[in-house]
Structure 1
Amino acid sequence: MTATPGLRRDAQANLEKLRVAALAVFSRRGLSAPLEDIAREAGVSIGTLYNRVGSREELIDAVVDNLAGEKLKALRDRTLEAETPRAQLETFITEMIDLQLSDPAMNDAMLRRYPDAVLLINACERSMALGAELVETAHVAGVLSDEFTPEDLMTVLWMAGMASHDPAAPHGWRRVVDRSVSAAWTDHPNS
């Protein structure tokens, strides 16, 4: 939601208030937070939100760089700083799960709950492409079973995302996810 030529100053101010409110509410409550809550936090009517933004997906895409882009870039940087293929993949998995646990909006994003939020989905796809690349690198290095595929990685992250925000999920879900990944390694942890 950048400055739009031709909009009155108060309309521009409302757009900025909506952007700030969307970041705050989505970060606290996830991408499915009621749009009424965002409008209320911005101090505008729900009609103003729809008139200025259009839809939930357009609002998500308007804040995606602040909401997900910076976090996913930091995750990528930390992952690629790890010294071995195993350490890189372990870092990616651990930090992605931790991000899903700590940030309801990122969890919704990684679970692709809003597929029409194109910019958000693109950011998530770049992260999943990195994950697939890390799986392949670990295969080439001989530290990961060939049976563990990029789809398996996505499944592990999906299970973690679903369980992390479901109050009815068994308490041991993280241990089961960790064991699933541990069983796929072909080397010792320090390799």
Structure 2
Amino acid sequence: MNQPRGLRRDAQANVEKLHSAALTVFSKTGLSAPLEDIAREAGVSIGTLYNRVGSREGLIDAVVPAVMGEKLKALTERTLAEQTPRAKLERFISEMIDLQLSDPAMNDAMLRRFPDATALINACDRSTALGHELVENAHDAGVLSHDFTGEDLMAVLWMVGTASRDRTAPAGWRRVVDRSIAAAWTESSQPAL
């Protein structure tokens, strides 16, 4: 994490504490966590938080893209290591869903809840582009229905992110998501029983 130049040692220490606290709190509760919780976790006042990081989006951009970037880079490497277009797309979908379910901050990022956090949005755009590319490659290989588009993939991931955070979501939401994905494969690509 880059530290602003010219800060006193105690001010730099506060920025470091805020960044560390933000990672902890965002990972537990998501990017919409109360900033007061982050200040409390860091052991500083809310005024210090605003003075040192400026805004929620500034704090998000200071800490989340690097962590998210590492997770998405690892996901991308595992995805591209798969041998077939279908296996690559299956890996991408599975791991994106796992990330959304296990990491509230990642889920908020993928849902683009904070569009003014530009560094975060740029990281999300790279994963979206990979998803679209994988869909096109699966189309070209004839294993994915042309009716299932890159936008459909993003809609499925959006449904996962939204339903997983909504306590009032119907219990069968995951079954619906899994069926949507299963129905997208062409008959020729279905594994033999």
TM-score range, shorter chain: over 0.9
Q: Report what 2:147 is aligned to.
A: 147
Q: 2-side partners of 1:39 and 1:5: how far apart? A: 22
Moved more, 63-72 or 24-33: 63-72
What are the Cα deviations for residues 96-130 of structure 1, in whole angstroms up to 9, with x where unaligned?
01110011001100000000000100101100000
What are the Cα deviations for residues 54-98 of structure 1, in whole angstroms up to 9, with x where unaligned?
000000000023431111111111111111100110111111011
Q: Report what 2:31 is aligned to.
A: 31
SS of match in other structure, 1:155:
helix
1:126 matched to 2:103? The reply is no
- Segments of structure 2 that go 5 or more residues without pairing to the other structure are none
Q: 1-side partners of 2:13 and 2:123: how far apart? A: 27
- Segments of structure 1 that go 5 or more residues without pairing to the other structure are none
Moved more, 149-158 or 180-189: 180-189
Moved more, 47-56 or 64-73: 64-73
Q: Report what 2:88 is aligned to.
A: 88
What are the Cα deviations for residues 135-166 of structure 1, in whole angstroms up to 9, with x where unaligned?
00000000001111110000000001101111
Aligned residues: 191
The RMSD of aligned alpha carbons is 1.2
Q: 2-side partners of 1:67 and 1:163: how far apart? A: 24
The residue identity in structure 2 corresponding to 1:138 is A
Q: 2-side partners of 1:163 and 1:101: how far apart? A: 10
SS of match in other structure, 1:183:
helix
SS of match in other structure, 2:189:
coil
Provide the TM-score with structure 2 as the length reference: 0.96
Q: Report what 1:78 is aligned to.
A: 78
The residue identity in structure 2 corresponding to 1:55 is S
Q: 1-side partners of 2:190 and 2:83: how far apart? A: 13
Moved more, 57-66 or 83-92: 57-66
Moved more, 168-177 or 122-131: 168-177
Shift of 1:4: 2.0
What percentage of residue pairs aligned between the two structures are identical?
75
Q: Report what 1:188 is aligned to.
A: 189
Shift of 1:188: 3.1
Shift of 1:5: 1.9
Shift of 1:190: 4.1
Question: Would the aligned equivalents of 1:148 and 1:184 in 2 still touch at CA under 8 Å?
Answer: yes
SS of match in other structure, 2:185:
coil
Question: Would the aligned equivalents of 1:23 and 1:66 in 2 still touch at CA under 8 Å?
Answer: no
Provide the TM-score with structure 1 as the length reference: 0.97
Shift of 1:50: 0.3
Question: Would the aligned equivalents of 1:67 and 1:105 in 2 still touch at CA under 8 Å?
Answer: no
